Amino acid sequence: MASVEVARGDITAQRVDAIVNAANESLLGGGGVDGAIHRAAGPELLSECRLLGGCETGDAKATSGYRLPARWVIHTVGPVWGGGGRGERGLLDSCHRRSLDVARELGARSVAFPAISCGVYGYPAALAAPLAVAAARAHGHDLELVRFVLFGDETYAAFAAAASG
Ligand code: ADP
């Protein structure tokens, strides 16, 4: 069973085997955490992403981490929040499950996640956090560490509450 941690901070600075990127379907870069990861990793990351042919919402694909401390980046595409009636919950669960599957296939022992879909995509953190923590507990069993790294106070509070429950 992986140890599930919640921390404030910048995911690009995490010294873990793999960090997860909240990407978009093109995998060609964007704002938010995606932009921060591409800036920190360097231009080789975009070159490798171009070869992947995009990624469907709910799926995950891996690249190298290049200049990041993490060896790999696992790019996943979260759902855009549309009120909860468009399968958002199942898709966000799938993002976490597929990212952990990919981590396992790579041989990663430690993985850091941002709050997928909780930025521009508008998923309420209070709903996303319990789902993300439950997915880490259910599907991260053969990893050593799953860490959620949160930027804002509200997101951090939601994940800390979910992890303590
Ligand atoms: P999405 O499009 O999936 O909503 P965003 O990048 O807009 O993705 O936001 C996802 C979350 O990542 C938000 O809570 C945002 O505050 C956070 N975030 C942005 N930059 C970073 C960073 N460098 N490290 C960790 N989290 C970050």
pLDDT digits (tens, 9 = 90+) for 20-75: 999 999 999 999 999 999 999 999 999 999 999 999 999 999 999 999 999 999 99
pLDDT tens, 108-135? 999 999 999 999 999 999 999 999 999 9
Mean pLDDT of the chain: 97
pTM: 0.98
Output the pLDDT for position 27: 98
Q: 152: CA distance to ligand 1 center in Å?
A: 9
Ligand 1 neighbourhood includes 58 CB (under 6 angstroms): no
Ligand 1 neighbourhood includes 121 CB (under 6 angstroms): yes
Output the pLDDT for position 140: 83
Give the N- to C-terminal CA distance of the chain in Å, as an integer: 16
Is the Cα torsion angle 9, 11, 17, 21 positive or negative in sign?
positive
Cβ contacts of residue 133 below 8 Å, gap of 6+?
A: 4, 148, 159, 162, 163, 165
Residue indicated by tokens 């921390």: 7
Q: 3: CA distance to ligand 1 center in Å?
A: 22
**pLDDT > 80? residue 1:** no
Residue indicated by tokens 């956090």: 129
Ligand 1 neighbourhood includes 148 CB (under 6 angstroms): no
Instruction: Report the alpha-carbon distance of residue 75 to residue 154 in Å, rounded.
Output: 24
